[in-house]
Amino acid sequence: MIPQKQPQITLSASRLKFGDATVMMGTGFTPSRTDLSHLRRPVGTEYNPLRLRIDARGEFSHRIDTVMLEAGAFELWVEDEPSKATSNRLQFTVE
């Protein structure tokens, strides 16, 4: 199954204070499958990808808590596993 449109992600907030959370929402992914969420640290290395379940509409939401993150700018993107399509890339900053 191929997504019907290019996968897209959004964040509920992009500037966060340490300890705050943001919610990542995704649309346009292959329904009822999984995707891989990627998060790049401010120093350029990437955390291990996190597998997320996609609902029957091709959507997901995932809370990102900053308690375990260092200060700086993070880059986030999601890969649709079945199609290998990649979402847009977003940045958020932890202060």
Domain 8-94 in CATH: superfamily?
Macroglobulin (MG2) domain (2.60.40.1930)
The pTM of the full predicted model, rounded to 2 decimals, is 0.91
Half-sphere exposure of 80 (CA within 13 A, CB side): 28
Distance between CA atoms of residues 42 and 10, nearest Å: 19
Q: What is the pLDDT of residues 44-88, one digit of tens each?
A: 999 999 999 999 999 999 999 999 999 999 999 999 999 999 999
Q: Phi and psi (nearest 5°) for 31?
A: -60, 145
**Residue written as token pair 């993150």:** 69
DSSP type of residue 88: -
Residue spans per domain, the chain: 8-94
With 0-12 / 13-18 / 19 or more C-beta atoms within 10 angstroms meaning exposed / middle / buried, residue 7 is buried
**39 has a pLDDT exceeding 60:** yes
DSSP of 28-73, one letter per residue?
Answer: SSPTTSEEEEEEE-TTS-BPPPEEEE--TTS-EEEEEE-TTPPSEE
